[in-house]
Amino acid sequence: MSEILLDVKNLKTRFNTDDGTFRAVDDVSFNVKRGQTIGIVGESGCGKSVTSLSIMRLIQKPGTIEGGQVLFKGQDLLKLSDEKMRQIRGNEIAMIFQEPMTSLNPVYTIGDQIEEAILLHQKELSKAQARERAIKMLRIVGIPAPEKRFHEYPHQLSGGMRQRVMIALAISCNPELLIADEPTTALDVTIQAQILDLMRNLQKEFNAGMILITHDLGVVAEMCQEVAVMYAGRIVEYGTVEDIFYRPKHHYTRGLLDSIPHFETGHKLDQLKTIPGMVPSLYNLPVGCRFQDRCPAVQNDCRQTYPPLENMRGIHKAACFHPISDEVK
């Protein structure tokens, strides 16, 4: 059993807006071990990105972290001073964002940006050493001719190359935990395959923990060992990838899996199964289960209380009063 690196307990993040208050993340708990990749999946607005920003304490007004604990190697990040948190952020926990164009500064060369990050976090290094390390990082992430690329600006690079730079930036300080928020969503499939392969290899090499946030179930199946499925701010199902893909218990998970077109189904031009309706507005959540209006198995009790996340088998948990019975897919 490897060591628990990050333990998120009952995390709640609230946004107060002119239209009212809503909880984007509501009572979310999970943990990440060293060398392990946890996937967080869900549709837009389910709270997956807010969860990661809360862990990094990057929630800005009007958002506030209302409660819960984020234990990183035993210490609660939510209780640290801003100064302490700044040392951890980027140094021990690093983040890779979705859009590599907007998360790099367009007026500095990519080399300067990596060098800056290194100098900021590793104060003992000289500028020359930092430069050397930056070039080494660019080489590790597979950028050809890194000495030359060092002096180029973000706009001179392709999307895939920019994402490699982002990864180089994120790993430049040897983080123990990597949070990747839709790292390949903006990329083409052949480039996505390259980047996923790179991330997998780097993780193995550095034995880091990783949280991978994505809406793509294919990416999850390939990269993660455990998966949290989020819906309207809550984790509705948690388990190993096999649990989630072969023995889903929650009707939302089942619906998500069914709505992706599969290869080799043979019955082409059939209707895809869909989840009817839309995600409820977080301002105006129904009483009881949040999935009730879209659920095929809804019953009266679903409309009265929110179903707790109950243990199924092993680490498998689902928040449903009427879970799907076991089936082998």
Partner 1 sequence: MSTPLLKVENVTKSFPIHGGLFSREVASVKAVQGISFEIKKGETLGLVGESGCGKSTLGRCLIRLHDVTSGNIFYNGKDITHIKGEELREMRRKMQIIFQDPFASLNPRMTIGSILEEPLIIHNLFESAKDRQDRISQLIDLVGLRREHLNRYPHEFSGGQRQRVGIARALAVNPELIVCDEPVSALDVSIQAQVINLLMELQQKLGLTYIFIAHDLKVVEHVSNRVAVMYLGKIVEMAEAEELYRNPKHPYTKALLSAIPVPDPRGKEERIILTGDVPSPINPPSGCHFNPRCPIAIDDCKTIVPPLEEKAKDHVAACIRV
The residues, ordered by sequence, that sit 6+ positions from 17 with a Cβ below 8 Å of its Cβ are: 62
User: Is 298 an interacting residue with respect to partner 1 (CB under 8 A)?
Assistant: no
Per-residue binding string, partner 1, 219-258, x by CB under 8 A, is xxxx------------------xx--xx--------xxx-
102 binds partner 1 per the rule CB under 8 A: no
Asked whether position 200 contacts partner 1 by CB under 8 A, the answer is no
**What track of x and - describes contact with partner 1 for positions 131 through 160 (by CB under 8 A)?**
---------------------------xxx
Q: How far is CA 161 from the centre of its chain?
A: 21
Q: What is the DSSP pairing of strand 37-41 with strand 226-231?
A: parallel
Asked if 19 is part of the footprint of partner 1 (rule: CB under 8 A), the reply reads no
Choose which of 193, 304, 308, 326 interacts with partner 1 (CB under 8 A): 193
How far CA 186 is from CA of 154, 160, 235, 301, in Å, comes to 15, 9, 25, 41
CA nearest neighbour of 78 among 90, 66, 95: 66
Binder among 123, 126, 263, 325 for partner 1 (CB under 8 A): 263
Q: Are the CB atoms for 25 and 13 separated by under 8 Å?
A: yes
- Report CA 321 to chain centroid distance, whole Å: 27
Window 37-96: residues binding partner 1 (CB under 8 A): 43-44
Residue 271 sits in the site that holds partner 1 (CB under 8 A): yes
- Asked if 284 interacts with partner 1 (CB under 8 A), we say no
Q: Using the 8-state DSSP alphabet, how is residue 142 labeled?
A: T
**Helix or strand or coil: residue 310?**
strand
Judged by the rule CB under 8 A, the positions of this chain that interact with partner 1 are: 43-44, 158-161, 188-194, 196-197, 215-222, 241-242, 245-246, 255-257, 259-264, 268-269, 271-276, 278
